[in-house]
């Protein structure tokens, strides 16, 4: 089980700020994405704009995620 956090526009599109997801060992962020979209279809159009973090640090699509990890779905940042 991993924890998934959604922020900003992604939270809007997901309809929630937090979800738990069952993942298989060795899955990458790229492999987890379809599972997220299956559950939250409105996220799909945002894919190319999104960045991801695993346990509080930016991570690439080929990053491997393990049980207990926290994955954050990050739309383009707009602080300032």
Partner 1 sequence: MFAIVDGPIDVGALIAGAQRPDCGAIATFVGTTRVDDSEGASVEHLEYEAYRPMADRKLEEIGAEIMERWDVRHISIVHRLGRVDPGETSVAIVVASERRGPAFEASRHAIERIKEVVPIWKREVWSDGYVWVGSQVGTREPATGSH
Pair of tokens at residue 34: 């379809």
Least distance between partner 1 and beta carbon 24 (Å): 26
Task: Name which of 13 and 40 has its Cβ closer to partner 1.
Answer: 13
**Given the rule CB under 8 A, which residues bind partner 1?**
5, 7-10, 12-13, 46, 49, 53, 56-58, 72, 74-80
Task: Tell me whether strands 70-74 and 57-59 are parallel, antiparallel or unpaired.
Answer: unpaired
Pair of tokens at residue 78: 């707009």
Task: Name which of 11 and 35 has its Cβ closer to partner 1.
Answer: 11
Q: Is the dihedral of CA 3, 10, 29, 37 positive or negative?
A: positive
């Amino acid at each position: 089980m991993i924890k998934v956090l959604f922020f900003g526009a992604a939270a809007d599109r997901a309809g929630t700020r937090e979800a738990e997801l069952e993942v298989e060992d060795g899955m990458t962020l790229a492999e987890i994405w379809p599972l997220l979209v299956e559950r939250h279809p409105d996220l799909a159009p945002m894919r190319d704009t999104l960045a991801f973090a695993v346990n509080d640090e930016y991570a690439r699509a080929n990053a491997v995620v393990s049980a207990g990890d926290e994955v954050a779905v990050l739309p383009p940042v707009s602080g300032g």
